[in-house]
Structure 1
Amino acid sequence: MKSIYHRALGEQFHRLHPEMQKKYGLTSKQNLMVLGQGRMTEIRGTNPFIRPLLQIGVKDYLIFAERGKDVPFTLENYVYADEQGRETVSWIRRFFFPYAIRGFDAAMRYDEERKCIVDDLGKSGFVQTELDLHVTAQGGLYMESKAVNVDGILSMITPKTSVYEHYDEVEGAFRVHVHAEHPLLGTLLMYEGMVHTEFLPMTYKNIPERGVID
């Protein structure tokens, strides 16, 4: 059984660094989760005068207004079959600011008809993107959104997101860079940092609920 990323990349998958292949090659059959812990060197973006507007995305773990440097960070990836039997990978990101814990969540799956990764953003999945994936010369992975749907309607004025990740052999950790840019407002959110990762046993109790906002 191939992972959703292996299916999207095809033969390119084998050009990933071995540690990247291990992480992005996980399937639900292995019953493993990925736990990442690290720090984001810097989180920036969005004009300070309009940052309060981003608070509308906080409850859905879609976006947030806080900014800072050297911010503690965790990432949980769960690989499971969703209610429709589709192989799905959750991305549960938490940023630990001095006075708040913020989230940026997503669930990815491979769409057979569109032949690409589909990314449902936030806990609700209200915003959905299609992703282009490419392997870099250094064995890293670059993902970029190419189409955005809001509640099923194609939108041309929603943010586009790019994610770049590669394995740092000296540090024994993954380096990540995420950039969300709005066509009118510019950079909404950008963060980069280092994450140390371990693989842990997973049970069905770990699978996150989708479409439920506290």
Structure 2
Amino acid sequence: MKSIFERALGEKEFAKLHPKIRERFGFASREGIASIGRGVMEEVRYAKWAALPLAVGAARHIMFPQGGRQVPFSIENYAYRDALGRETLTINRTFRFERSIRRFDATMVYSGRRGRIVDYLGNKQHLAVDLDVWTAPNGGIQIRSGEQRFYEGPLGFRFPAPLTGCADVCEWYDDDDDCYRIAVSVRNSLMGQIFAYKGAFQAETVRVREGSIPLQAMPIRLERRE
């Protein structure tokens, strides 16, 4: 079984990634490993006008209305098969501010019907986002969000583009400084930047026994609709 990112990119494009990036995004559930990164975000910022919707999202681990500099940070990638049998990669980011801890979680599956990765943002999978993925010129992985859908019970609808934020994410390996770097920017087409962070971290590959992925790394609610 290929990782969801190798499926999304295709074998040839995936091979263009820096080896260290392939290491972090190239494993699947059967391999029994995870990638755990720790570092510092040089800057985390948000738009004051977006404080209220960000505060609502913060309760579900979807961004947050808080900024700072030199913020300790961790990012944990776990691969597993969810209760619906889907190959899944969950990415949990933790920002440790001086007086609070913030989470930004994502659970990703590859949708054969959509021909792309679908990213369920937050810990309750109410928000499903299509992702475009490609190899950046620096050998990093580039991710851009597309259509966004909301699911709750029987309810399901697509958000109009002006009411959403488009996320651009690039994670790459810096050979000169021997570390991973990440830059994230979320923008609204009308109002501008909503949320952003950038920084660097080190990562290690660790063994994870089947069924032993930490509960806090798993979503509370599972959504079958993609």
Gaps of 5+ in 2: 222-226
Gaps of 5+ in 1: none
TM-score (norm 2): 0.89
1:171 is matched with which residue: 173, 177, 184?
177
Equivalence map 1:26-175=2 (5 Å): 26-46=27-47, 48=48, 50-151=50-151, 152-156=156-160, 157-175=163-181
In the alignment, structure 1 residue 211 sits paired with structure 2 residue 215:
no
In the alignment, structure 1 residue 186 sits paired with structure 2 residue 195:
no
TM-superposed CA distance for 1:69, in Å, is: 0.6
> Quick one: structure 1 residues 209 and 137, their matched pair in 2 at CA, closer, same or farther if it must change by over 3 Å?
closer
Q: Percent identity?
A: 33
TM-superposed CA distance for 1:140, in Å, is: 1.1
TM-superposed CA distance for 1:209, in Å, is: 3.1
> Quick one: structure 1 residues 181 and 49, their matched pair in 2 at CA, closer, same or farther if it must change by over 3 Å?
closer
Taking the aligned partners of 2:81 and 2:174, their CA distance within structure 1 comes to 31
Taking the aligned partners of 2:93 and 2:84, their CA distance within structure 1 comes to 24
TM-superposed CA distance for 1:52, in Å, is: 4.3
Single out whichever of 48-57 and 1-10 deviates more from structure 2: 48-57
RMSD, aligned α-carbons: 1.4
TM-superposed CA distance for 1:182, in Å, is: 2.1
Deviation string for 1:104-127 (max 9, x for gaps)? 100011101111010000001111
Taking the aligned partners of 1:2 and 1:202, their CA distance within structure 2 comes to 18
Taking the aligned partners of 2:3 and 2:67, their CA distance within structure 1 comes to 34
Taking the aligned partners of 1:210 and 1:105, their CA distance within structure 2 comes to 9
The number of aligned residues is: 211
Taking the aligned partners of 2:64 and 2:113, their CA distance within structure 1 comes to 33
Secondary structure of the structure 1 residue equivalent to 2:80: strand
Single out whichever of 54-63 and 179-188 deviates more from structure 2: 179-188
Secondary structure of the structure 1 residue equivalent to 2:212: helix
Taking the aligned partners of 1:21 and 1:74, their CA distance within structure 2 comes to 19
Taking the aligned partners of 2:84 and 2:174, their CA distance within structure 1 comes to 37
Taking the aligned partners of 1:140 and 1:53, their CA distance within structure 2 comes to 31
2:132 partner amino acid: D
TM-superposed CA distance for 1:99, in Å, is: 0.6
